[in-house]
Structure 1
């Protein structure tokens, strides 16, 4: 189900709670909402952006969407770069610093444990959405 995008700063600043299989519907809603906003150049969403307090993100990686439950950054590149990012929940663009590559441990949409390295644009998207899970707004 496509959900409205939350713009309430106080809600968005709350840290996410661990997701479980009971939160699978929130994951599906996140994917549906991401697809619905693809024409808005939306490439990622965190669950708090659709009103859920759970640690779930959905990102676009090329033509496919990836759903991650309980993502954790386990390793980062030693180097980082300055970026400027926008967000559907906020107006305008803001500066931030991002790692060149990241390694993430997460559970996939079937709740299987995964660990994967991402680089470039995909790594930047994941870092932005993982910030949302910590209540950090860019």
Structure 2
């Protein structure tokens, strides 16, 4: 179901709780809501749609990748950039890493590891920040 985008910074600043197998249907809401905003958005965290769970979706190339309980396990090559966010107006400066390795559970509750670079890595870092209550 397409969910409304949350703009309340107090809610967005709240750290998310872990996803369990009972939360797997959250993937559908993330997919449908991201697709509804595809013109202006490439990633989304569950708290952006009012669900305080540690879940994100990122458009990586042509694919929407849902990540439950994502954790960055390696990062390298820091740089400064500016980012926008569907939940916020304007852009803001932030520090990101050019290369990351992220570990997560997929929609089938299998543990996955992805090595990401460049824009894909930036998207995932932004959304994981949301899960940690960090607003750019």
TM-score normalised per structure 1: 0.96
Question: Aligned partners of 2:107 and 2:7: how far apart in 1?
Answer: 26
Q: Following the alignment from structure 2 to structure 1, what is the Cα–Cα distance between the partners of residues 13 and 79?
A: 24
Aligned match of 2:110: 112
Give me the whole-angstrom Cα distance separating, in 2, the residues matched to 1:33 and 1:27. Answer: 10
CA distance in structure 1 between the aligned counterparts of 2:83 and 2:45, rounded to whole angstroms: 15
Tell me whether 1:96 sits opposite 2:102 in the alignment: no
Matched, 1:11 2:3: no
- Look up the SS of the partner of 2:10 in the other structure: helix
1:57 corresponding residue in structure 2: 56
Matches within 5 A, 1:1-138: 1-40=1-40, 42-77=41-76, 79-138=77-136
Unaligned runs of 5+ in 2: none
Q: How many residues align?
A: 136
Q: Unaligned 5+ residue runs, structure 1?
A: none
4+ residue runs of structure 1 moved beyond 2 angstroms?
none
Q: CA shift at 1:10, angstroms?
A: 0.7
Inter-partner Cα distance in structure 2 for 1:68 and 1:11: 21
For residues 26 and 111 of structure 1, what CA distance do their matches in structure 2 show? Answer: 13
How well do the aligned residues superpose, as a CA RMSD in angstroms? 0.7
Q: Deviations over 1:86-119 (max 9, x none)?
A: 0010000000011010001100111100111111
TM-score between the two structures when normalised by the length of structure 2:
0.98
